[in-house]
Structure formats: C-alpha cells, structure tokens
Amino acid sequence: MTLSEAVFKWVEKHVVTEKNIERFIKYYWLVSTFRVALGFAIMFLILVGGYKFEDLLPKW
C-alpha cells in the first residue's frame, strides 16, 4: 500500500462519515444563501446606490 492509498483510506474512514455528510447538507444551503444575499447587497450598493468604497477609507 502506498502512502496516498493510506491517506485516502484514513480520510474515507474518519472524514467522510455519514454524520459529516449530513452536517454538510444541513448547513450548505444556509451558507450559500447568506453568500448570495451578501453579493446582491453589495451589487445593489454599487450599481443602484452609487456607493463608493473609497469613502470607507480615511483621507490622509
């Protein structure tokens, strides 16, 4: 058995468990929904609101 096969078997045994897959499916929609909402909010601020990110930085 090579090192890569041993690592793959360890990952398969310890990481890819049914409980971890269930957690991934359970929380993936929540994280992806938050990311999409954040993206739309930033797009709205830039395109519609005329928001300028340079105003966030202090003037030196």
- Please report the pLDDT score of residue 13 as a whole number: 86
**Tens digit of each residue's pLDDT (9 = 90 or more) over 14-53:** 888 888 888 888 889 899 999 999 999 988 888 876 666 6
Q: Among all chains, which residue has been given the structure tokens 């971890």?
A: 20
- Please report the pLDDT score of residue 53 as a whole number: 66
How far, in Å, are 3, 10, 25, 32, 33 from residue 28 at the CA level?
A: 31, 24, 5, 6, 8
- Please report the pLDDT score of residue 32 as a whole number: 93
Contact 45/51 with Cβ under 8 angstroms? yes
How far, in Å, are 3, 20, 30, 57 from residue 25 at the CA level?
A: 30, 9, 9, 39
Report, as an integer, the average pLDDT of 9-14: 87
pTM for the structure as a whole: 0.48
